[in-house]
Structure 1
Amino acid sequence: MSNLIEVENLSKTFGHPARWFNPTAHQVRAVKNISLQLAAGETLAVVGESGSGKSTLARMLVGLETPSAGTIRLMGKTLAAHRSAGSFGRLIQYVFQDPLASLNPRKTIAATLAVPLKLLCGYSAAQRKKRMLELMEAVQMPADALSGYPHEFSGGQAQRLALARALAAEARILVLDEPVSALDVSVQAQVLLLLEQLKQQFDLAYLFISHDLAVVESIADRVAVMYQGELVECADSATLFGYPEHRYTQSLLASAPRL
């Protein structure tokens, strides 16, 4: 499989150095020299405790944060090259943890979906309408949901609509930042099953950010473990959960509640 994402020595430092005494007193190194790859059709999960740098890594991959050092390549090109060519939004999309907060409360679902369909895909009005209906069917939502506003939907329904918005750009990669953590357990199972179906239907690759190891074990092909901004272990799911090598990975797995 070819790599859709290639990250080399990626780092992110927040804050400005103090001008006296300790020159790094006001700096926080959130991500430290991360290198990883995401192959086509793969689900790569990134796990770790809160504050380990998972979301900062994800935000750099989609251009919401600027790296302090290192390189990010999407299908062999840098983010700047994709932006200049106008192909960035059609290659990678972000799905946020809180779907209700990530959808514009003043716009109907149809108006929200129309933006990527028009600006990124160049669809006509008739093409946009047809594509919206296809997306509603894909995420298992009724067609009349297009006329609704975000507050009219439950958390699970809103997350399905957030997935539809990401798919509207015809992206190859979805960065899923805790996509089911705000949902009830029964709804989580439905959304996870939907993610697997969408992956096959649209030939997607997922970067799955999560702290829920049970969810990760059920969905991930490979797992990358982050600790204090560093990548401490990366292996296929069966190997990592069965034979963890790093001491932090062993502690993380041991802390997960089991029946």
Structure 2
Amino acid sequence: MSGSAIEVRNLSKTFGGGRSLFGTERHAVKAVDQVSLVLQRGETLAVVGESGSGKSTLARMLVGLEEPTFGDMQIAGRDAAALRRDGPRAFGKMVQYVFQDPVASLNPRKMIRQALEAPLKLMNGYDAGKRQARMAELLDAVQMPKDTLDRYPHEFSGGQAQRIAIARALAAEAEILILDEPVSALDVSVQAQVLLLLRDLKRQFGLSYLFISHDLAVVEAISDRVAVMHKGRLVEEAPTDQLFRAPRDPYTRQLLDSAPKLRKA
């Protein structure tokens, strides 16, 4: 466990089930079914699969937005359930979530200054002077101008909004980022820019990424290892080069056959 950022064992999530008020049995859906995987410190592990495969439900469990039906989960060697009981501050300082829709993830009524200040103040206890300095550093890290702070989310393009969302995640000073389809809503040229930014930030801040995607071409460009999900289960896991060169599972081969190829930078 000393080298792991995230480790899950037999993690499962079932929606529905049980009986209704009238005694009829409700249909149960296993969104995630006994998934076990490890994200090592400093690596990018991609979890890939088509819509409905369970990958986003897995991501939401990892950040506490969904409660597992059963299974064990550890974050940086600590029990995730115990971390959540310690409160959002303790959990948020270890792992942060970057959403698929960057504009929707930002409060439209608040300036970017407020979005970045909140974690700096509530999680890190920075005073006003230190918050101002840190916000300038974060904007520089994600390649956004200083006047970003005094503008609203609707004033930015999707790519710019995603850079801001990444800066907000970094403001908590967590070393683990769960990235749920972070470039799927962006134009192809902007996707490439954000992927390069994520790679640079990983080196700069010593981050570990769990990268959720349905797009194996994007995954090939950024990941160290790939875990493939299908119908809630993990069907294959391998280093990226190995998986692309010699996939074992028929479902993985199907995904590869349908994906355009990108060379890893």
Bin the TM-score by the shorter chain. Answer: over 0.9
Give the drift of 1:257: 4.0
Given that residues 46 and 219 in structure 2 are in contact (C-alpha distance below 8 angstroms), is that contact kept between their aligned partners in structure 1?
A: yes
| Residue 3 (structure 2) pairs with residue 2 (structure 1) | yes
RMSD: 1.6
TM-score w.r.t. the length of structure 2 is 0.94
Match of 1:152?
155
* Partners of 1:29 and 1:187 in 2: CA distance: 35
Are residues 1:100 and 2:103 paired?
A: yes
Measured at CA, do residues 127 and 83 of structure 1 come closer, stay the same or move farther in structure 2, by a change above 3 Å? same
Which residue of the partner structure matches residue 12 of structure 1? 13
TM-score, normalised via structure 1 length: 0.96
Q: Check conservation: 2:43, 2:208, Cα contact below 8 A.
A: yes
Task: State the alpha-carbon separation in 2 of the partners of residues 184 and 130 from structure 1.
Answer: 32
Structure 2, gaps ≥5 residues long? none
The answer for the alignment partner of 1:199 in structure 2 is 202
CA distance in 1, matches of 2:166, 2:45: 18
Picking from 102, 111, 116, the partner of 1:113 is 116
Please list, as runs of the form range in 1=range in 2, the aligned pairs for 1:46-195 lying within 5 A after superposition.
46-85=47-86, 86-195=89-198
Q: 1:190 to 1:257 in 2, by over 3 A?
A: closer
Find the counterpart in structure 1 of residue 258 from structure 2.
255
1:57-105 residue CA offsets vs partner (Å, 9 max, x unmatched)? 0000000000001011011111232234442100000000000000000
Percentage of identical aligned residues: 65
Which residue is equivalent to 2:29?
28
Matched residue of 1:101: which SS? coil
Matched-pair contact (CA < 8 Å) for 2:64–2:84: no
Is the 2:94–2:176 Cα contact (8 Å) retained in structure 1?
yes
Q: Please state how far the C-alpha of 1:255 moved relative to its aligned partner.
A: 1.9
The whole-number CA distance in structure 1 between the counterparts of 2:210 and 2:83 is 19
Aligned equivalent of 2:220: 217
Give the Å deviation of 1:42: 0.3
Residue-by-residue CA offset, 1:192-249 (whole Å, 9 max, x unaligned): 0000000000000000000111110010000000000000000000000000001111
Segments of structure 1 that go 5 or more residues without pairing to the other structure are: none
Per the alignment, in what secondary structure is the counterpart of residue 247 of structure 2? coil
SS, match of residue 10 in structure 1: strand
User: Are the structure 2 counterparts of residues 22 and 37 from structure 1 closer, same or farther at C-alpha, using a change threshold of 3 Å?
Assistant: farther
DSSP-derived class of the 2:226 partner: strand
Change (3 A) 1:83 1:257: closer
In structure 1, distance between residues paired with 2:17 and 2:247: 37
Q: Distance in 2 between matches of 1:228 and 1:204?
A: 29
Residue type of the partner of 1:99? P
258 and 165 in structure 1: CA distance in 2 versus 1, 3 angstrom threshold: closer
Deviation at 1:256, TM superposition (A): 1.9
